[in-house]
Amino acid sequence: MRENRILPEDTVQVDVLYEGALVYYTKATGFSTVEEAIGAAIEKFTQRSFSIETYTYRVTNISNRTSGLYRFDADGRLVEIPPQKLDPETFLR
C-alpha cells in the first residue's frame, strides 16, 4: 500500500487469495495497521488446513483508494509484495 497506515474510521477490505483466486473477503473498520486488518480476516476465515503462508492478502483501503498485496514469509512476518511492472514488449506478444 502506498501508505502502510490505516485510520480506525477507514473502511478496509481484505481479500484472501489462493493461487490468485479469491477464496474469502471481509470488509470492516476499526483497524490502525495492515497487520490488524489481515489478522481480523484470518480469524474470520475458517479453513481446516489453514496455513497463513499459503495465501496472499490484498488489503484495500476503500476510504483513501489505496491497496497493497501481502504474504507471510516462512518466519511468519508480513511482507508487502511489490507491484509488478509489465514489459510492454512481452505483454503485447
Strand spans (E) along the chain: 12-18, 21-28, 56-61, 66-72, 78-81
- Average pLDDT on 38-60 reads 86
Give 45's pLDDT tier (boundaries 50, 70, 90): confident
Identify whether the C-beta of residue 81 lies closer than 8 Å to the C-beta of residue 73.
no
Quickly tell me which residue has 502502510 as its cell: 4
Q: What is the pLDDT of residue 71?
A: 95
More confident residue, 5 or 33: 33
With a threshold of 0.85, does the pTM exceed it? no
- If you ran DSSP here, which 8-state letter would residue 52 be given? G
- Average pLDDT on 35-56 reads 85
Q: What is the pLDDT of residue 12?
A: 96
Q: What is the pLDDT of residue 93?
A: 46
Q: What phi-psi label fits residue 42: left (phi over 0), alpha (psi between -120 and 50 degrees) or beta?
A: alpha
